[in-house]
Structure 1
Amino acid sequence: MGACKKEEGYLEKSDTKEGALIYVSRQANAQKITVYPAKDTLISYDFGASFAAVGLPLNNIGVKFKVDDKAFDSVNVARTSQNLSPYIKLPESAYTISGLDVTIASGAITSNLVSLKYNAKNLDPNKAYMLPISIIDASGYKINPLLKTMFITTVKYKAPEILADRTGWAITASTTQAGDGSLASVLDGDLATFWHSQYSPVASSYPHWIQVDMLALTNVTSISMAPRNNNNTGFTKFNLKGSVDGTVWIDLLTAKAMDPNLKDLQNYELDAPTKVRFLKLEMTEGPQSYTHLAEFQVFKVK
């Protein structure tokens, strides 16, 4: 820590605009707002404008913001050129702004704050949204070109996952080979045991499936599976479906790859936590007509 003589010039008020800059006071490349979990109440996000110069402003500085469509298009052009999915503009139905005009008062370096309120329930957690807000006027003061726009983007909140307790779960399959593994093996926590689809006296063919009843609605976030540990001829592609009642099914994972050579748990995350009671693993491709599986785990959030 050091000390120096106080420079009075930094405390003096002046109306000169030379060397002074106005910028967004909560600008850090991108400000992220949470989409999941959705809440019933509006969430508030505040921002304003700041003044940078030697000295303090003598007079009030009026600063005007606007939702910047040109900045939105520019970012998406850049993302597309990098093979990234373009942002969706934050829909007006999902947010309100208290105002787009603020004032940096005489003798101050920050303005009053603008409040953006948004409702996560009006946003799809599987989509990426953006809202660029730029300073367009600052009472004749120069606007910092690097800090004039705040890019508000959405980020999905990832709650801590826990391994679902599989005690008592009911499990069925399209077929099971008698005397070669057992269906209960995929829920026993032992990678050395396995389930095997029927191959004798008549071999079953793809698609094969396993269905579990978790006994209660479960907010599923991901699954983990391990292939049979002493054989690499298991399935290589699969789908995962979920159901509340065991009758109407929705797609949770589609055309995912499974590596039968990787003898450990392989994790697959859902796009968003989904409440279901039943899960159906549909195995769709593999090097042989039969398949097998050592372990099936489910992760959830409360």
Structure 2
Amino acid sequence: MPEGKIIKALSGFYYVLDNEKVIQCRGRGVFRKNKITPLVGDYVVYQADNDREGYLMEIKERTNELVRPPIANVDQAILVFSAKEPDFSTSLLDRFLVIVESNNIEPIICISKLDLLTEEEKADLEKKARDYEIIGYQVVRTSAKTDAGMKDILPLLKGMTSVVAGQSGVGKSSMLNALNTNLQLKTSMISSHLGRGKHTTRHVELIEVADGLVADTPGFSALELDSLEADQLGDCFPEMVKRSSECKFRGCLHLNEPKCAVKAAVEGGEIPDYRYEHYLQFLQEIKDRKPRY
């Protein structure tokens, strides 16, 4: 049977890319019975009587998957956060990073709308960007309006399946339009009343950009840490992983334990205070989570 990759899911149909052709498929009833939902990015086996319509027969094993946005087999996540409108949020960025790290997906931080900042605001944002680069993250500074930084993104996409994610209104679609002028993805202005963008992308779809596949995903402003346990959270902070072996106690949660190398690094200014504060917030959130049965 032929095989391909789901590049779009819409209204109960799954569009499977097989070499140069795209087959519109429906899922088999057995998927619904077994509570299996095909995802964009899935490698599948399908059956088709013609070149246009068919049925999904099998979903291959996934290397990873995200719940929001719903996508599988992602190589990297480009996390787009605007410098302004909406304002840059380290708390939301760290939440995204934790989700991405917990799924073993390589994150790339993209700061958009730099053209909206004053020189003083740029200096403050640059300090935060440097914090993340010191941790080991790749940070790309961009402006779709001026094309700044766009040439730095192109080589990162080649041959990769990338998810572009971030809060609504940060400029994800604008960035992709700038990278591929044939896309003409819908964009929207920020609501001055709500302080956030309207949802402009209604479904997940893999599109070809710079010889790679990129998912433009619906914007969202909240992520639940429902797949992580307390003892796993520290593994999603690279600067903590680097130092945890020096903690006195194995399985140290970096709270009140004596001789904690992570807390020492925070007190010594080696780990930004806000990163540690976010870690504590996330840890409490996980602890307060109702148990699942």
* Structure number with higher relative contact order (C-alpha < 8 Å, ≥ 6 residues apart): 1
Of structures 1 and 2, the larger Rg is shown by 1
Higher helix share goes to which structure?
Answer: 2
Q: Give the structure-1-normalised TM-score.
A: 0.25
Q: Give the structure-2-normalised TM-score.
A: 0.25
Higher strand share goes to which structure?
Answer: 1
